[in-house]
Amino acid sequence: MSAKHTPGVWVAHKCGPINGGFEVWASGCRVADVVRESDARLIVAAPDLLAALTSLMGATDYFSGDDDMVEALNEARAALAKAKGGAK
């Protein structure tokens, strides 16, 4: 996968007690400021989730199973397109 996001390990750091919230960092750059820890964890996991979903979708290109699975694969394809700057 050729990443168009900031490469490297993404980490979240809690801001001081005065500011609160969390900063998300990747490759020495602050990429996000968020209020909730759960949001920070999701942002930190995003590059790994994108890579895993891309890999999984590559393994299911020729799947023609039941309707529920086909619907789930279509939702996954739409999510990948959105993450890669395609359909919103």
pLDDT tens, position by position, 24-80: 999 999 999 999 999 999 999 999 988 888 888 877 766 666 777 778 888 888 888
pLDDT at 87: 61
Has residue 12 got a pLDDT over 90?
A: yes
Q: Give the pLDDT score at 83.
A: 84
More confidently predicted of 25 and 7: 25
d(C-alpha 7, C-alpha 15), whole Å: 23
Amino acid at 72: A
The structure's pTM equals 0.73
